[in-house]
Structure 1
């Protein structure tokens, strides 16, 4: 099937990937409708992609070459122990075949690889979507904040966990708060020496374990050199106005005094001194708080509407699969398009390829969240054998974290 007019709502990682896939598959016209007017490249959080997933995505053209990435090979699990020194006691080490990325640099690489034929429209806020096919029409309608209405043969919802397109596909389907949050931050590696830290993370991800939570620390590339990225999961303080009943976050520079103080208490009471010093180096304007939500939708496509990335399923970050899932969704979309003879055939093929994947990743990430935050074991009692058994219990037959192998 060739031709057609496609709108991609949302212009971040999933949006750029789907726009490129639509052009490669044969769309006549592709419009990306991105609500923000500023640079998306300034989003500095870290993420990781499993080496096997990266190789698969590169082979099908979904992950462009040349994007800065830092190789990781192992994951170290440590717990505070006064007898073990400032770095804590290492109780387990496991293989970790991933590369880490800076969100903004990954997005920039995908944006640069987007074909010139794609119209990337910033400041285009979509307020509602209607599936014209459901009413017997041949196109979907997109309503914009400026009062305009546009019609497309297909609308892709790549608009994240607050997706407007999802509301049209699955009315009332919204992410649910998991009961805990993550503090995120990163710091220039060059600052470590100033604080008496001899060396930062190299090829290892370190998971710092403490009662009621855990924190992953690893190196990422940055626009101005390498940085140390960290993500700390724990329950928030139980007092104060923290509105987590609706998907929200506290962006850099707007984290409340209460949340900042709670982070300091966690570092003081539960962290080995070495790792506490690294996190404490992070300036407040480089720290934000993200309540953890998840969601699996009953449908990922309907009529002339299709959901991608976090719009289709919101997976807790423990699975380390978010970016890979978005790119795999785009690859499956392209393959479904090439094998379809109609729009209905395209959506059927996409549903068959990606429907179960989202559900299974949400389930795995929930198990990981329960084990590493909600119902943490007695970390101080753990050794390698106990940790291995505990980890296999979380996987429950899954091959690994980082997403599933692509099927074509």
Structure 2
């Protein structure tokens, strides 16, 4: 199938990947609507992609080569111990991942987007119509500019967990608050010199465990060298003015005093001293909070509208699959386009391939969240054997974390 116009709502990782896929598959015109006006590459958070997923995505042309990564091979689980400033190591497991700086990954995807793609920043989409029966004429994108609307043969919703496009596909689906948040931060790895002896191998992810939560720490390669990235999951301070039942976040520089105090108290009370000092190296302007949500969409397509990435499925971060899942969505979309003779065939093939995959990822991440935050074990009593059994209970038959394997694209 060739020709037609495609609108992609959202210009981050999923949006760039889908824009590239549509342009290369043969769309006549591809337009990306991105509401952010500034430099999206300034987002400095880290993420990880499983080595096998990265290899598959590279082979399918969805993950560009040359993006800076940091190699990880193992995950170390530690718990506070009075005799060990860096905590007691009770388990080490293989962790075949590479970590990315979000901004550099986005930049690589953006630079790989064909020049024919029209990338419009500072444009806010307020709604989409054309998701019901009889949408044979395409779908219409409503813009924040009074009365402005543009029609396309296909609209891709790649606008994240607060997606406005989702309302046209399955308005009954809303992100569900999991009952806890993640504090996130990153800082220049050269600050680690202030901690003295290095208790942390460079190829290791460290998970600091405590009653009611856990904190994952790993290195990423940023624009100016190596940075330390951390994600701490716990129930937020009770009371106060925090409202977390509707999708929200507290971006860098806007952390409330209540949340900042809660983090400091948690570090002092539960963390081994080395890791408490490490987290405290993070500047306030690089610390923020994301409430944890998840969402299962009953449908990923309707009429001439398709949902991608977090717009389709919101998976708790414990599964380490968000970026890989978004890029896999784009790879499946490209493959379905090449095999389709009509828009209906394309949309039906995408729904068949990605609907169940998203639901399985949500279910696994919920199990991981329960085990690592909501119903934590007595970490101090665990050894290798107990930890391995506990981990297999979370997987419940899944091959592992990091997303699901894909079969190579075939003509």
TM-score calculated relative to the size of structure 1: 0.98
Alpha carbons of structure 1 residues 82 and 324: separation in structure 2 relative to 1, 3 Å: same
Aligned equivalents of 2:197, 2:179: Cα separation in 1: 34
Aligned equivalents of 1:76, 1:209: Cα separation in 2: 10
What runs of 5+ residues in structure 2 fail to find an aligned partner?
Answer: none
Aligned to 2:354: 354
- Alignment pair present for 1:13 and 2:8: no
Displaced runs of 4 or more, over 2 A: 132-137, 194-201
- Alignment pair present for 1:117 and 2:116: yes
SS in 1 for 2:90: strand
Aligned equivalents of 1:292, 1:325: Cα separation in 2: 18
Superposition pairs for residues 257-268 of structure 1, below 5 Å?
257-268=257-268
Aligned to 1:76: 76
Alpha carbons of structure 1 residues 289 and 132: separation in structure 2 relative to 1, 3 Å: closer
- Alignment pair present for 1:396 and 2:396: yes
Report deviation, 1:54: 0.1
Aligned equivalents of 1:352, 1:190: Cα separation in 2: 47
Aligned equivalents of 1:383, 1:167: Cα separation in 2: 47
Aligned to 1:334: 334
Report deviation, 1:199: 6.0
RMSD: 1.0
Aligned to 1:100: 99
Superposition pairs for residues 173-252 of structure 1, below 5 Å?
173-196=173-196, 198=198, 200-252=200-252
Per-residue CA deviation, residues 236-277 of structure 1 (Å, 9 max, x unaligned), is: 011111110110000011011111111111111111111111
Say if 1:76 and 1:92, in contact at 8 Å, map to a contact too.
yes
Per-residue CA deviation, residues 173-230 of structure 1 (Å, 9 max, x unaligned), is: 1101000000000110111113435365500000000011000000001111100100
Per-residue CA deviation, residues 349-385 of structure 1 (Å, 9 max, x unaligned), is: 1011111110000000000000000000001100000
Aligned to 2:33: 33
Aligned equivalents of 1:115, 1:146: Cα separation in 2: 27
Aligned equivalents of 1:326, 1:167: Cα separation in 2: 19
Aligned to 2:160: 160
Aligned to 2:88: 89
Superposition pairs for residues 307-386 of structure 1, below 5 Å?
307-386=307-386
Say if 2:135 and 2:304, in contact at 8 Å, map to a contact too.
no
TM-score calculated relative to the size of structure 2: 0.97
Aligned to 2:137: 138
Aligned equivalents of 2:308, 2:367: Cα separation in 1: 23
Aligned to 2:306: 306
Report deviation, 1:4: 0.5
Aligned equivalents of 2:380, 2:344: Cα separation in 1: 55
What runs of 5+ residues in structure 1 fail to find an aligned partner?
Answer: none
Aligned equivalents of 1:385, 1:195: Cα separation in 2: 32
Aligned to 1:59: 59
Say if 2:135 and 2:303, in contact at 8 Å, map to a contact too.
no
Say if 1:197 and 1:278, in contact at 8 Å, map to a contact too.
no
Aligned to 2:295: 295
Report deviation, 1:118: 0.2
